[in-house]
Amino acid sequence: MPPPAGLLPWPSPSTTRLTTPTPTRPPPPPTRVRPPPPPPPYTRVRLPPPPPPTTPPRPRLEATAPKPTAASNPLPPDTASTASSSSTCLDCVHFGKCSGCTHEVDLDKPPVLQEVANFFKGHGVGDFTFSRGRLSQWRCRAKLAVRGTPENPLIGLYQEGTHVVTDIPECRAHHPSINAAVKLLRQGISELNIQPFDEDAGTGELRYVQMAVTTYNTSIPVDKRYEQGRVQVSLVWNSRDERSQNAEKLALLIEFLWRNGGPKSSVHLIHSIWVNFQTSTSNIIFGHKWRHLKGERDLWERYGGVDISLDPCSFGQANTLSFNSLLHKLNKYVPRGSTVVDLYSGAGVIGLSVAASRKCRSVKCVEINKQSKMSFEKSASRLPTNLGCTITWHNTDASVEPVHWLEGSSVVIVDPPRKGLHPSVIGALQKVALSERKAYKAKSSLAKVKDEKRPWILRAREAAVHVDNTTTEESSETWPETLIYISCGWESFKKDCKSLISSKAWQLENAHAFNFFPGTDSIEILAIFKRESEA
């Protein structure tokens, strides 16, 4: 049985230039060799090679970086923030046991980076950049399994390919406040005899915990806000509701956490406490029933120049700093006064940021997860009242007749899941871009008459959120001129990119990469396409 959703290995603001090719990594020795201590700030040193192994080394599961060849290109310009660690080594005691990180050196150059740089250069992108971001203590959201015993609770991730949990109290990727909150939770489990979940027997009380850090605190200087982030703790409790048999122990645990980490404790660590009730035997971490029990109900964060509220059941980026870096770059590619559609929008973070920063005439956010609606409404309530922009959020599947959402928009933003764009969305983008636009105009005008008889349109309207009453005429003559593609799956992006440009519908103009998950071979892509001119 695969690990539960949300506990897969970790697949992350800032601009310096890197011209050194990615070095070939030597095979690991049979025993761990701790990297040397970090060099002084802004001084680059080369790690000494490990001693030759006396026995054949154990094969590694990670993907290795491509070997430099005569045809290899120099690595792209790097955007390194002042918050970045001066060391590019992981230096984590859990490496090799924990499934989170797959490599421990050269965290500023993911193994896939050279391939990415070569791909974009081969497609005519001359200004490709890479933002390395912060290399440690970057993770502000974590879902962790709770197993073991009350005397020795294990709070961490599954080992690769198993349901054996590795305890990671000193995780180097976690924001320090997450590690501190985990330590406090471990103490509460032991003192109160809380039973960690037993998957085989289906017994126990605490199944998982989600930790989410907010760095939004206007009462302290900006440069202190990240390091003093507070944690929203969400406990996944093995019962149907708060009236179940083990409810008394849940209440005791919550009081323990709040007394020792709340506003009256010596260190105000905990922002709020939520409980999710889950009794399913499936791999799904969260159940449908949530309860807010302590602290502030809303967790706010500053993203892309706007205040965003994220409920514990809403999707949020783990790397706050790098996500803000991406939004800053993205906004520059949206012309002022645009009409925008944001597909796969989640709680509307990107759409709201664009609406506020680029003075858009209209922004439509389309999202299939109805639980994101409340977060969107709260975030939108903090927008300036004089934007002059009509902003709507629609609960529907963007892959069903996607041309309906493309019509009337000059810019389309897509941020699909790791598997990439749905084929229907690819097809719509190809067709409306060039020769078949006229056919789509006629088809779309006819479709408007039939809208009231199409159930998916009715459902989308019923679940819609309208933020501004400004009347904006969206002409059916307007179709996307700019496509902004955000991708967390490199392989799926390559496939989608080739489909878009091979049809001669779109031209790839700009591309940037972001190190959202240092220590892994994952990379976040921001690509800008322009519609090909009609002949």
Are residues 10 and 418 in contact, defined by beta-carbon separation less than 8 angstroms?
A: no
The residues of the chain that CATH labels 3.40.50.150 are: 89-136+319-438+477-534
Rounded to an integer, the average pLDDT of 380-403 is 91
- Which H helix or E strand runs over 461? helix 455-462
Distance CA 351, CA 13 (A): 20
User: Model confidence at 455, in pLDDT bands (50, 70, 90)?
Assistant: very low
Judged against a pLDDT cut of 70, whether residue 470 lies above it is answered with no
- Under CATH, which number does the domain 141-303 receive? 2.40.50.1070
The residues of the chain that CATH labels 2.40.50.1070 are: 141-303
Rounded to an integer, the average pLDDT of 118-137 is 95
Model confidence pLDDT, tens digit, residues 223-267 = 889 999 999 999 999 999 888 888 999 999 999 999 999 999 999
User: Model confidence at 73, in pLDDT bands (50, 70, 90)?
Assistant: low
Which positions make up the binding site for S-adenosyl-L-methionine? 317, 344, 367, 415
Tell how far CA 60 is from the center of its chain: 26
Known catalytic residue at 89: no
Instruction: Identify the active-site residue in 89, 98, 488, 497.
Output: 488
**CA distance to 131, 138, 304, 335, 388, per residue, from 330 (Å):** 13, 21, 9, 11, 21
Look at 282 and 445; give whichever has higher pLDDT: 282
User: What percentage of the chain has pLDDT greater than the value 70?
Assistant: 75
Distance CA 230, CA 175 (A): 10
Alpha helices in 358-436, H assignment, sequence order? 373-380, 403-406, 423-433
Classify 89-136+319-438+477-534 by CATH class. alpha beta
Distance CA 118, CA 32 (A): 33
Lowest-pLDDT range of 163-172, 431-440, 452-461, 466-475: 452-461
Rounded to an integer, the average pLDDT of 201-212 is 96
